[in-house]
Amino acid sequence: MPTLLISHPASLGHLVPEGHPERPDRMRAIDRALEAEEFQSLLREVAPLAPIDAALLAHPEDYVRAIEAAAPGEGEDLVGVDADTVMSSGSLEAVMRGVGAAMLAVDEVVAGNVSNAFCCTRPPGHHAERRRAMGFCIFNQAAIAAIHAQKAHGLKRVAVMDFDVHHGNGTQDIFWNHEDLFYASTHQMPLYPGTGAARETGAAGNIVNAPLAPGSGGREFREAMEGIVLPALDEFSPELLIISAGFDAHRRDPLASLNFVEEDFAWGTRKLMEVADRSCGGRVVSVLEGGYDLMGLALSTAAHVRTLMTR
């Protein structure tokens, strides 16, 4: 079965101020990389537009309505919803296409129509807490996808593993009190957003954080994965594994100081796929998060997708 790639041109319509790192060129760089001959066997689908109420799976109604009301109309100025998070007239569609992509990926993977799926949309989502937009993120696509898997498909245990260089405080916040939702993260610490200490374990031990010191590279990543994350994932035994696939731990990235290379992301992807093979018939959904050096992002995403395609 093929790997499913889900994207939409609306991702380019989420505009940001000049010099902002989370820019439309991120999508263009990935698109160019995935046009190579080796990726022609990908099954490519256009991300559907999820209804705004889909965000209610992970966010309360007052927050969802506030975001909906804040979205500027065509020709209006950018609106700040956080110190570094903005909305343009195209942002709400971009966000809801991202939510739609994640939900469609879950549907197709759980149905057994594809081997796995990668959602290539922006803005990212893992910093979006239940009631707060932050860190370039508005709604939390990975969390929405996990809860959608439970509500729509009857899955009981769903895990998200996040290897973005920044801790996914939003996913942790949403999952904290839900013993049937599991969140694991490797990330640089100290670094924005300041969460992600090993002592943060969730209400039912369902949160596992493996922080990495500045300057860490592939060796430290492998040690954290093999010593902490992978055993915890095996113990949780998810029925679906969602990857928050951020590539800003790459050594070229300007927003942090980890030293990953493309093979580190490929290795991590393989190890997560092996967990999924053991626990849930290989069911993996991957959702793009960060990555702000265009070359590092393109090379790392290609390595990640290439690995997904080995199934």
Q: What is the pLDDT of residue 50?
A: 98
Sign of CA dihedral 2, 4, 9, 15: negative
Q: What is the pLDDT of residue 223?
A: 98
CA distance 265 to 224: 14
Any catalytic annotation for residue 14? no
- Cβ atoms of residues 290 and 246 within 8 Å: yes
Q: What is the pLDDT of residue 184?
A: 99
How many C-beta atoms surround the C-beta of residue 202 within 10 A? 18
The one catalytic residue among 8, 14, 126, 127: 127
- Cβ atoms of residues 287 and 137 within 8 Å: no
Q: What is the pLDDT of residue 28?
A: 98
Q: Tokens 């965000």, residue?
A: 55
CA distance 283 to 279: 9
What are the residue boundaries of the structural domains of the chain, listed by start? 3-308
DSSP-assigned states of every residue in 112-173? TSSSEEEEE-SS--TT-BTTB-BTTBSS-HHHHHHHHHHHHH----EEEEE-SSS--HHHHH
Please give the biggest Cα pair distance in the chain. Answer: 51
What element of type H or E holds 81?
strand 79-82
Instruction: Say yes or no to pLDDT of 182 above 90.
Output: yes
Quick: pLDDT tens for 75-130. Answer: 999 999 999 999 999 999 999 999 999 999 999 999 999 999 999 999 999 999 99
Q: What is the pLDDT of residue 114?
A: 98
Residue 162 corresponds to which tokens in the numbers above?
């996040």
- CA distances from residue 179 to 65, 84, 142, 183, 238 in whole angstroms, order as listed: 28, 32, 17, 10, 12
- CA distances from residue 147 to 102, 114, 155, 214 in whole angstroms, order as listed: 11, 20, 9, 33
Quick: pLDDT tens for 131-177. Answer: 999 999 999 999 999 999 999 999 999 999 999 999 999 999 999 99
- Cβ atoms of residues 57 and 151 within 8 Å: yes
Q: What is the pLDDT of residue 311?
A: 87
CA distance 137 to 282: 28
Residue 206 is given by DSSP the state: -
Instruction: Say yes or no to pLDDT of 231 above 90.
Output: yes
CA distance 52 to 91: 13
pLDDT band (50, 70, 90) for residue 265 = very high
Q: What is the pLDDT of residue 284?
A: 98
Burial class (CB in 10 A: 0-12, 13-18, 19+), 147: buried
Instruction: Say yes or no to pLDDT of 240 above 90.
Output: yes
- In CATH terms, the superfamily for domain 3-308 is Histone deacetylase domain (3.40.800.20)
Verify cis geometry, omega within 30 degrees of 0, for the bond prior to 48: no
Q: What is the pLDDT of residue 128?
A: 98
pTM of the predicted model, to two decimals? 0.98
Q: What is the pLDDT of residue 250?
A: 98
Q: Going by DSSP bridges, is the β-strand pair 79-82/85-87 parallel, antiparallel, or unpaired?
A: antiparallel
Verify cis geometry, omega within 30 degrees of 0, for the bond prior to 238: no
